[in-house]
Each structure stands twice: as structure tokens, then as C-alpha cells.
Structure 1
Amino acid sequence: MQDPTLITQGFTPPLLLSNFRLAAFDMDSTLINIECIDEIADAAGRKAEVAAITEAAMRGEITDFKDSLRRRLALLKGVPMSALEGVLKERLQFNPGARALCAALKSAGIKLVLVSGGFTFFTRFVAAELGMDFVRSNELEFKDGVLTGGLVMQSWGEICDGEEKRRMLLQCCAEIGCRPEQAIAVGDGANDLPMMGAAGLSVAYHAKPKVREQAMVAINDGGLDRLLDLLN
């Protein structure tokens, strides 16, 4: 009987770690324990409203991620930078096994990608802590030390949605000279499905039902390092 806390679909483990050259990770609720935007909203007294939109977007009930993000950002207008600093220092924690999994993958020569619909304010810290090789996320716009409710346009675009996550995975594969089948993609929400679908191994971590159903591996209990149980 298959372990209900670690479900595999479409392949028979173990897999060879040497078959993979790149691993792409979502950040919020995957590598870390929170949805950063919801915690920022807490400072504005709008957490319930923002979190409801986040939950619907992650479940796939809101299919336009860009629209859902803009709606949430508008509710954060006027929140001071100090509130984000508080979230980073007091609320953000790495999920169990995140450091161990990333360290093991790096030791095996696998390049790490952090690709998030969240914000560079947090991804810079997470990427530095975990030794990420590539990072893509959204840049919050500040004016006079407070959020404007908008984002800063970057060279690749404004909003890192599901399709941008997929493009980033494929771009990084091309940059290091590997095939998408040699990539692992790990996420928890509906906006992770495009990159998970492009990767050779898709992993759902404590994920929404729609994501668990479509992933090749679903970790439903325990830490991220449980993935190492399937890799030799």
C-alpha cells in the first residue's frame, strides 16, 4: 500500500538524482511557512480580505493570477516598509526540510531556482539563505517609505504568474544546457502548475487539492526533505 503522506504517480521510485540538473521552487507556503502578502496585509488590518483572495487563487478558483495580485496589492497601499521588515524578522520561517533538501541538491551539482509570485523583499533573503542560483519574483513599489499598491516593471515583465514561472524554468534549463525533463519543480498552488507541467519531476508540497492531483509526487506530511526518500 502506498504511503498516503508521500504519494507517487506515473513512475516507480527511486529515481536517480544524477538524472536531474535543475530544481525550481515556489517560495510562499513551499520553502517558507507563510504567504508573505497575507502577513503584510495583517499590518493594514486587511488580512482576512487579502487571505481569502490568496486562498482562492492558490486553489485555482481565481484563474487570473495577475488580476488577483493587483486586487490584493491595492489593499496594501500605504503600508510602511517597517511592516515588511517585521514580517521578515518575526514571522518568516523555513519549512521543515527546506535547508536539507536544497543542500543535498546543491551537493549533487543541481542548480537551484527560486521563482515566486511573491516579492523580492523576501526572495532576496530566502535565496541567499538557501544558495539559489537563479531568482525571479515581483518588485514592490515604494514611495516615501510606504507601499503604493503597485509593482515595479522589470526587464522580464511586471508580474511573475504561472506562465512566467514556466518561462523561467525553461530559460534556466536553456542557460545551463539541460532539457526540461532534467528539471524538478516544487510548489503548492495553482500558479505553480505550468512550471510543474514543464518539468521532468513535479512535486506538490502540502499543496492544494488541484495541485496534488496533477503532481507526480505529493508530500502530504513531513518536510521537504522527504523528496530525498525517492531519489538515489
Structure 2
Amino acid sequence: MSPAGAAVSPGPDDPGFPGPLTLSERGQLTESEARQVGDLIDEVADADGVSPVNEHVLLHLRHGGDVDSSNFLLTTVDGSLVGYGHLDPTDPIAGPAAELAIHPAHRGRGLGRRLLTAVERASPDGRLRLWAHGAHAGAEALARQAGYRRTRVLWQMRKSLLAHLPQVEIPQGVRFRPFLPGQDEAAWTALNNLAFTDHPDQGGWSEDDILLREKEPWFDPAGFLLAETEPMQGP
């Protein structure tokens, strides 16, 4: 794989497009390519009600740094991006993971299958896990047709802050305080990784992971609370 990108055989031309499609594999994306991918992800999210990629991918599209991953761009002859694939090969236990996105106006033409085939061929060890966000019918059909089976389901659980909240008793000797950027990253990361040692997604965070999130517009340290034991008082 070349960091600058290499053409991947796109298969037969699609009569619904003005000319042939090009499927390219990239390492790091240029700023222009990252913007195109971000726009495509936004359009897919607007149509489906959920982002087609996880937070990790979104953060690295915005801020860079995802040096081990591969990006797959499916474009028309005029350079319009109609499909995107992301391959993360960094999990040596569970194996490489991929996420795909097809523009809502260009579905049902086999583009998802084309992207998936390219990603499968690029998997460094012949294994591949697919993430499907929101249980979209098209994504589930593509996975079944390609021989994949569901092995894991993630639930997003919510509670209205307008609902009644029970009174909380804070254990004696424990106090809460807001997170302090520039001071608490190392201690929080160490505790997070210890608490989630066996968790495939949460247990391997670095300080860079929290620093990336500190750059996001939603980040508010006042709402990021840490619990600490109070120092022992002498006699």
C-alpha cells in the first residue's frame, strides 16, 4: 500500500454514473480528502439518523494522527465521493475492523459490496470485523450476503435529566471535582485502562485519546467529574 494511494480495480462501470468509478486506497488523507469524507459522513448521518463511523474515525478525520489505518475512497470521474471505507488493523486479538459508508443517493448499485471486497483484500491477516451502526437494513443485508454473522451488539442507553433522580449519598472520605486539562490526563487514562482492562474498545486508551476529545466543541471540563479520596486528617 502506498501512502499516496493506489488505484484498486473498480469492476464494471456503473451506468448510473457519468463515467467510470475509481476506488483508491489511501494511508493518511489530505485535508481536502478528509473534508470530502466528513461531508459524506454528514450526508449519510442525516439520511440514516446515525453516523456510519465511530467516534475514533471522526476524531482522526478532523485532527489527523490515524497513521496505521487505511482509507478507501470511491469516486466518480468528476471527483465526487460516493463511498468511503475505513480499515483499522491495530487490534491483534480481535483482528482488523472496518466501517463503510455509501452516499444515500447511490445505494442499491453494489457499491457497498465493491468497497467491502477492497477492504477484505487489504486486511493484513485475512480477518475482518464489520461495524454496522444503527442496524440499517442495507448494511445488514450486505453483511449477510458476504457471509458475516453478528457477534457483538452495543447498546446506547439514555435517561432524561427531566426525570426524577434519586438522592445520592457520597461515601465518607470521597469528594468530587472537575477535570483539570493539562493536569489530569495521565491519572485518568491509567484509571480508565485499569477499569476497562478486558474491554476491547475502552481498555487501551492513551493520553492522546483524551487530548483529541479536549479539542472537540462539546468538551466541557466542568462536566467531567473526578472522584478522589480526601487526605487523612491527623489527630
So what's the TM-score if we normalise by structure 1?
0.25
Query: Between Structure 1 and Structure 2, which shows a larger proportion of helix residues?
Result: 1
So what's the TM-score if we normalise by structure 2?
0.25
Q: Per chain length, whose mean CA-contact separation is higher, i.e. which structure has more relative contact order (CA < 8 Å, sep 6+)?
A: 1
Structure number with greater Rg is 2
